[in-house]
Every structure is written in C-alpha cells, then in structure tokens.
Homo-oligomer: A and B are copies of this chain.
Amino acid sequence: MGKAYIVGIGATKIDEHWEKGIRDLMTEASLRAIQDAGISKKEIQAIFVGNMSSGYLQGQEHLGSLLATWLGLPGVAANKVEAACASGGAAVHAAYLAVKSGLYDCVLAVGVEKLTDAPTSDATSALIMAEDQEYVAFAGFSFVALNALVYREYMRRFGVRQEDIALFAVHDHKYAANNPLAQYNKPVSLEDVLKSPLVADPIRLLESAPLGDGSAALVICSEEKARRLNKDVFVELAGSALATDILSLHDRPDLTTLSATVKARSMAFKQAGIDVNDIDILEVHDAFTVLGVIHLEDLGFAKKGEGWKLLKEGQLEKDGKIPTNTMGGLKARGHPVGATGVYQIYDLVTQLRGDAGANQVPDPEIGLAQSVGGVGGTVAINVVRRVR
C-alpha cells in the first residue's frame, strides 16, 4: 500500500448554470485539475465520477464513459460512484482505493451535479432519493422536513436556542464572500437568517444549503508519480474512510448524532496516524445549520450538545481553534450534491497550498473533510496532509 497524493485540483464556479450541461461542467473541472497537476491528460488511467441524480434529473447515466469521451480519453477505466449527497466523498475514496491497490498510479476523482434546469423532474423529489423511497418519501417527507426533525430534537434535548445554531449560516456566508467559486458572495446577518422564510419548521431558508450546479475534480497519484512532478507543496491523501448508518432516521436510536461520522472518523484517523487534535482545518457537511453543529460534536471537537459554543466563541474562524468551512461551506460556497465532497477537498488543498487569499488560515498542515449522504446514511471522511 503506497501513499496517495493529490497533485491537481480544478472546479467550476457553483451557480445556476443554465447554459451548461452536466458534461460541460465535469469536463471543465477535470481539465482544470489536469492543467493544475501539470501532467498530460494521457497520464490519467481511471476516472471516478461522484454524482447522485443524473439518471433522475438528466436521464443520463454512464457518466464515466461520457466524461472519458469528452475529455478525449476514451480507453481509460471509468465509472460513476453514488452514495447520495456523499457521492463526492465516496468518489475520492474509490480513487484512494484505486491508487492504493497499485493497479493505477494516476486517477481522477470528479464530483458533478446539476440540480437546476432539469428536463425530467424536480430537485426536491431527486433529493429524497437519498432516503427510503418506499417508506419515507412515499409518506410525504421531503429531505428538509427530515432535517427539521433533527433540529427540533437537538434544541429540545440540549436546550439550545435557534439563534446559536443559525449562526453557522452567517459564518459560511462571511467566508464565501471571498471565494470566487462560491454560489453566494454576499454576507448575511443573523437577523437576515432568522427572518428568512420558514422552509420546514424550524429550518429557515437561509439555514439551508442552496440548489446549484457545479463540478470539482482532483488528480490523485501514487507517491512515486507525484514526486516526479515539480511542486512547491505536496498534499497527501493521508486517510480515507467510508461508513454507513441505518438509512432511515425513524429507525435510529438517536437523532442528534450521526454514528457513521464517528465510525468513519476513527478509521480515517487510524489510517493517517493522527487524532482530533492534529486537525488544523475542517470542512463539514452543513446542509442545514444544525448539521454543522452536530458534525463538530461527532468529529470530536466538542461534547454532545456543545458544538454551537465553538461557533459562538469564534473558534471556527480562520484564526480560531478549528478553522471550519473557510471557503463558504455548503450553505454559501454551495452544495451541488455529488460534487460537494470533492469541492471540500478542493478547498482544503487550496488552504494547504496557501492559496486561500483573504480566507487563508495560518499555515495549516492537516485538514479533514466530512461528506454526508442522506441524513447520515453514509459518511465519507478524507484527511489531507501537507508534505514538503
């Protein structure tokens, strides 16, 4: 088992890309990653495309072959990797396994999703495909309604006020303002968030990740191959773990914790030979504000019921104890479902390289990205480490 290195990153802006199809988005991101790596595209041997809903929304499967074709690389190995909203993180895990296996020494992990301008159906019914269609969607639940149950229970059990949780959206928007790839570049106030329309009580519109289109890509190589490239900063994919939980919320013993996060965290820490105190920078999957808070707890940065304190005390800021979502997070960078897990690592690598501009965290060395599918039915955790 050799090491895996991330040697190139590329992404599109997250937006409502009415003028671009899913193929355009993923091709653009992939070519940027290849260019950033400084390799010839012919060096790519395999492609793993993270995507959830292209079949349902675009009537298009076979994205692996489609992307290989549009990249001018027919011949390479390619397939789509799907794990609902964690598809991006799972695609990175697949790429990690591919390089670790020794069968491939240079692969692409790509995430892509196009939620707007879908010809065949709507994004709300696409998103609930992440939960159980026959037992949950059939009963009329939307994805945001399920998260509202989690929110209510979290506030009830721990006696936390909504304004202390909703702050997560303010935090994300503040950082997205400086991220040219973010869907929203405008800061919001806590008052804006709390006065925004109710989507599913208690979740407000500005507490919810938006719908958007985008693609992000990583070139991941063996250490041997990476070391032949001329780089100032090398980034190792030092750990990668995938775990599931009981798919449906109604069958879980506790709504306020995601056990898949806890399990994947342990595995990824072990692989990377680190513990929670070694993490310098964090990307959490805050599809809704309350999830951001819960993730801080499940990852081990706060006790249960106290994740909001880190947020309120400013510990998630770029110069705080654990800089989190410093490029805008799901709420404001955006959340093109199957692409998000790859954007998170794009953002971490940007920080590790010192390229984050106004959002730069001082000298981070180790970063962790958590990508969540459904309401925690799957969690992918990827750990990156700067190596000189």
Contact = CB atoms under 8 A, between A and B. Distances in A.
Which secondary structure dominates chain A's binding surface? mixed
30 contacts: A1-B101, A1-B103, A21-B134, A52-B55, A54-B55, A56-B56, A56-B61, A61-B82, A62-B84, A62-B247, A62-B373, A64-B244, A65-B83, A65-B245, A65-B247, A69-B244, A69-B247, A74-B259, A75-B245, A77-B241, A78-B242, A78-B378, A79-B83, A79-B242, A80-B82, A80-B83, A94-B94, A100-B102, A100-B103, A103-B271
Interface stretch (A124-132, A302-310, A326-334): A124-132
A374 interface: yes
Interface string A74-92: 1111111111100100100
Interface in A344-388: 373-374, 377-378
A138 to B, nearest CB: 9
A299 interface: no
A194 to B, nearest CB: 32
Contacts of A96: 101
A66 to B, nearest CB: 5
A84 B374 CA distance: 23
Contacts of A76: 243-244
Give 7 nearest A-B pairs by CB, closest first: A65-B377, A100-B101, A77-B242, A62-B84, A80-B82, A55-B55, A61-B129
A11 B83 CA distance: 23
A293 interface: no
A246 B378 contact: no
Given A69-B246, A101-B100, A130 B77 contact: no
A116 interface: no
A263 B46 CA distance: 13
Given A62-B84, A64-B90, 11 more contacts: A46-B242, A56-B56, A56-B61, A61-B82, A62-B373, A62-B378, A68-B244, A69-B251, A74-B260, A77-B243, A79-B378
Interface of A: 1, 21, 23, 46, 52-56, 58-66, 68-69, 73-84, 87, 90, 93-94, 96-98, 100-103, 125-126, 128-134, 137, 241-248, 251, 259-260, 263, 271, 373-374, 377-378
A166 to B, nearest CB: 28
Contacts of A62: 82-84, 129-131, 247, 373-374, 377-378
B94 A129 contact: no
A91 to B, nearest CB: 9
Contacts of A69: 244, 246-248, 251, 377
A124 to B, nearest CB: 12
Nearest to A271: B103
A62 B143 CA distance: 13
A65 B244 contact: yes
B246 A64 contact: no
